[in-house]
Amino acid sequence: VLRQTEPGLCADPDLAVARALAPELRASGWKGRAVLRDGELIAVKAPGGRVLGLAVDLGTTNISGFLVDLEDGKTLAATGLENPQTIYGNDLISYASHIRRVPEGAAQLQQLAVDALNTLAGELCAACGLKPADIVEMTVAGNTMMHHLLLGLPVRHLSATPFTPALASAIDVKARELGIAVAPGAYVHLLPNIAGFVGGDHVAVLLASMGKSKRPVIAMDIGTNTEISLIAGGEVTSVSCPSGPAFEGGHIGCGMRAAVGAIEKVRVTATGVEVKTIENAPPVGICGSGVLDAVAQMVLAGIVDRRGTMHEGHPCVRDRDGVRELVLADKAAGGGNAVTFTQDDVRALQLAKAAIAAGTELLLQRAGLEAADLDRIIIAGAFGHYIDVASAIAVGLLPDLAPERFAQVGNAAGEGARQALVSRRRRARAQEIAGLARYVELAGSKAFLPAFSKRIGFAAPRRAEPISQETVETT
């Protein structure tokens, strides 16, 4: 993206750079390197000065940042922080309703995003003994709502059908125009959006993970909204599934985010339940991968039937106040919280997995394909990184393919943002992908509701063998 040269003022200077240029060059004895961007002089570095970039995955609940040395493309530091916008809610719908209720709501959310980016830049630089003022270029991959809020674009049409983004194409903005305190001449490049519910974060996922396979590939980023793209025959078709917050621990009785003490693995044996918590701490609640495991294990154990109804008979299943639940952790036993998984929690998981499975099926149907035709299923995102694929298959969230066909690629959105930061060619490729992608609105598809209904239940357990007795670590 950037070019460096001896300063000769042949380039168009940025105004802020021009203001500081003469004093700075005087201070450095008229020695320095010019940082050019599309022919614009965006910084002048004193000898030894660093030329840094910051790639950001701006998620609804979490923000990840990657500090990169733009001279050799190496990542110097990476970190994450909770999106402070979550003080107004945990999902896009909460943000949209805050904006509708409060006149300055959008400005508040924008300021929180800007504050977070400044914090991120400060923390990453501090970790390396560097200064945010040396960051001359940023990329941000966010969903369409995050993108709009950061830019101060109108979001009214994002939260109502037909969910039209105010801006889909990539945009370059001076960081200072957004209040981001990096180099005065720095730009922020925001990756393009595909649609109102398929944003730059998904484009970044596709950029980072699409690869060159000639055979059909599906890429998905599981979250409150699950974006799924089918890449087949040179075409990209994308949907966004309203999967709800179950995978982030939301709308689950004892649900919590993936933090210390969250139950992340569950094994139901014939005689009891074994759980593993994050950092093996006393159990506090259950996070997304635990939710998936719990339901999968109950299905495999026959506790949950094909319609999703929980049945008695297992020693850990009980009825309390008329609600049937599986006891995952007993307060008495460990010292943590009592954690249970209720019939309602099973229903929440059913809605989520059915939406994703129906979205996947619809994409395959439209292309005349079946799951078996897929070369790979790429699962991006933090949640996707930690799930047990076998559990996801067991509940019907993922198609029943061999394990090697699944690639759990972690934070591909962040990796895509990093690639777009260091490479003009990758940035152009992101724009190409976004332009290529056709968005299919599930709410407007007659085939969605039947597919969803068909997927709401569970298949009969594949395995006739008894439930694994393999011991997992217990708290």
Size of the site for its own copies (CB under 8 A): 27
Cβ-proximal residues to 77 (8 Å cutoff; 6+ apart), any chain: 66, 67, 124, 127, 128
Smallest separation (angstroms) from its own copies to the CB of 27? 12
Smallest separation (angstroms) from its own copies to the CB of 240? 19
What tokens appear for 166 in the block? 């105010």
Nearer to its own copies, 18 or 77 (CB): 18
Nearer to its own copies, 188 or 377 (CB): 188
Smallest separation (angstroms) from its own copies to the CB of 40? 9
Q: Angle CA(383)–CA(384)–CA(385) in degrees, nearest 5? A: 90
Smallest separation (angstroms) from its own copies to the CB of 73? 24
Q: Which of 56, 99, 120, 171 binds its own copies (CB under 8 A)?
A: 171
Nearer to its own copies, 166 or 367 (CB): 166
From 14-22, 96-104, 222-230, 277-285, give the range in contact with its own copies by CB under 8 A.
14-22
Q: Which of 7, 13, 261, 283 binds its own copies (CB under 8 A)?
A: 13
Q: Which x/- pattern, by CB under 8 A, does the window 130-169 give for its own copies?
A: ---------------------xxxx--x------xxxxxx
Answer yes or no: are the C-beta atoms of 186 and 56 closer than 8 Å.
Answer: no
- The percent of the chain in helix, strand and coil, each rounded to the nearest 5, is 40, 25, 35
Exposed, middle or buried, 401 (CB in 10 Å: 0-12/13-18/19+)?
middle
Smallest separation (angstroms) from its own copies to the CB of 167? 5
Distance CA(92)–CA(99), nearest Å, equals 11
Q: Which of 116, 140, 173, 183 binds its own copies (CB under 8 A)?
A: 173
Strands 135-142 and 187-190: parallel
Nearer to its own copies, 174 or 405 (CB): 174
Smallest separation (angstroms) from its own copies to the CB of 59? 22
Q: What is the CA radius of gyration of the chain?
A: 24
Rule CB under 8 A: is residue 15 a binding residue for its own copies? yes
Contact positions with its own copies (CB under 8 A) in 19-38: 19, 21-23
Nearer to its own copies, 149 or 354 (CB): 149
Cis peptide before 162 (omega within 30 of 0): yes
Nearer to its own copies, 84 or 152 (CB): 152
Q: Which of 9, 87, 333, 472 binds its own copies (CB under 8 A)?
A: 9
Nearer to its own copies, 157 or 438 (CB): 157
Nearer to its own copies, 22 or 443 (CB): 22
Answer yes or no: are the C-beta atoms of 462 and 400 closer than 8 Å.
Answer: yes
3-state class (DSSP) for residue 272? coil
Closest CA to 125 of 53, 56, 33: 53
CA count, 13 A, side-chain hemisphere, 247: 27
Answer yes or no: are the C-beta atoms of 138 and 186 closer than 8 Å.
Answer: yes
Q: Which of 172, 330, 344, 432 binds its own copies (CB under 8 A)?
A: 172
Distance CA(155)–CA(140), nearest Å, equals 18
Residues at the site binding its own copies, with contacts judged by CB under 8 A: 9-13, 15, 18-19, 21-23, 151-154, 157, 164-173, 177
